[in-house]
Chains A and B, each alone.
Chain A
Amino acid sequence: MKPVTSSRTRHVTVFVLTVALLTVAFAPVHAQRRAVRATTHTSLNQNRNTNVNVNRNTNVNVNVNNHGGYYNHGPSVAGVVAASVATAIVVGAIVNSLPPNCTTLVVNGLAYQNCGGTYYQPQYQGNSVSYVVVVHP
């Protein structure tokens, strides 16, 4: 009886520890791990822009820590995130998600977002909504 219980306890402990370690290790890179290259043709239209959405699903504020592993390797992950950070506040920059605590304003019937003094204009682009940084509308 007793050995069985302790063995199970040990297993549970190991499992919990493993989950905790994995969570700590991978949480910061969660968003960028899902970033897609968006290179797949979904149509035969030859006009399509390529690389428009390279940053899709990439959070500007993620902590860049590569711990290795199947979904993290490759230098391009860090490169894409770094590029996003560098261009995030430049007028004309395009991001795929807004920082928190934005307020909506409407100018000439069009919606804008004011996020801490940086103005974003939502736009439909490449089959989803992205946000382009603009001067005060």
Chain B
Amino acid sequence: MQKVSAAIGVFGIVTVLGVTEGSAQAPKKSAPPAGAQSKTALTAPAIEPAAAAAVNRMGSYIKSLSGFAIHAEIATDEVLVAGPKVQYGGAIDATYGAPDRLWMRVAHDERDDQQFFYDGATLSLWIEAKKQWASVAMAGTVADTITGVESKYDVTFPLGDLLARAARQDLLKDVEAGIVIGTGRVAGVECDHLGFHQAGADWQVWIEQGDRPLPRKMVITTLGEPSQPQHVEILTWDLSPKIDSAMFTFTPPEGAQRIVIAERKAAKPATTKKKVK
């Protein structure tokens, strides 16, 4: 019995790697090759129940919190047009007040610092270096607003996986395979280390062990590029932050210029002429 389950475990991991390879080699991203699908189907279950349970527990815990502050250190590989892979760094500071307050500052190499403000009614964006701001009317929880903004506008909201998709239990929506890799330490904290695969990406998350199942690290590997660039977030959490309600509302300073946020185009861009205001 022991041997059988061990064999299934090993086969499961091999299958995960196999699926990964198949997608990486696919020249254009479309539906995953039929072979990969059937290979997954051979081994039950593609997503280990323990891995799914850990992610769902993390999501429920994040959703249950009344407020928190996050500091995240970011490293993002980019593939240059000429071929080489380079790494850019960044940092995010965010303060959240349940259910509909968020402030965030995003610093990233080669980009101007950006701040986001959401007070339950308006989501504003402020780029101080350019004295430019934009804002859109939104409503609902922070998770709903992030999801709404990402579906309507051409924006990838920083930490959106953890602030929106984890809290909405959406993280596993597109996952095709998942395993518990083991345990690992992030900044000295013991974590469960999980690995998942979905179309175009492998991703890993390190979730704090014990009664605070918080994500402490996340790595997303892009499979569509031969050099498989990675995006890494390492997070520290403060679960009793100082919250000043004024910090969630943006008031444009004198001389600031209002700009628009580009709307997300339909899958086929090009030919349809964009309406100009």
Contact = CB atoms under 8 A, between A and B. Distances in A.
A86 to B, nearest CB: 14
Name the interface size band of chain A: 35 or more
Given A37-B225, A39-B222, A42-B231, A123 B82 contact: no
Contacts of A71: 80, 82, 84
Contacts of B83: 70, 73-74
Contact of A46 (B84, B174, B277): B174
Contact of A40 (B78, B165, B276): B78
Select the residue from B76, B81, B125, B174 with max chain A CB neighbours within 10 A.
Answer: B81
A40 B229 contact: yes
Contacts of B174: 44, 46
B79 A123 contact: no
A43 to B, nearest CB: 5
Given A44-B165, A124-B134, A129 B273 contact: no
Interface stretch (B45-53, B148-156, B182-190): B148-156
Interface in A115-133: 121-130, 132
Contacts of B130: 122, 129
Given A43-B156, A47-B151, A47-B264, A92 B274 contact: yes
B75 to A, nearest CB: 11
B222 A41 contact: yes
B265 interface: yes
A45 B82 contact: no
A76 B81 contact: yes
B258 to A, nearest CB: 6
A49 interface: yes
A124 to B, nearest CB: 5
Contact of A124 (B80, B81, B155): B155
Interface stretch (A3-11, A17-25, A106-114): A106-114
Interface of B: 76-84, 86, 108, 110-112, 114, 125, 127, 130, 132, 134, 150-151, 154-158, 160-161, 165, 171, 174, 198-201, 203, 220, 222, 224-225, 229-231, 257-262, 264-265, 273-274, 276-277
- Which 3 residue pairs across A and B have the least CB separation, nearest first? A111-B257, A125-B262, A36-B78
Interface of A: 32-49, 52, 54, 57-58, 70-74, 76-77, 80, 91-92, 104, 106, 108-111, 121-130, 132, 134-135, 137
Given A41-B200, A44-B220, 13 more contacts: A38-B78, A39-B225, A40-B76, A40-B78, A42-B156, A42-B158, A47-B151, A91-B276, A108-B277, A111-B132, A126-B154, A127-B156, A129-B127
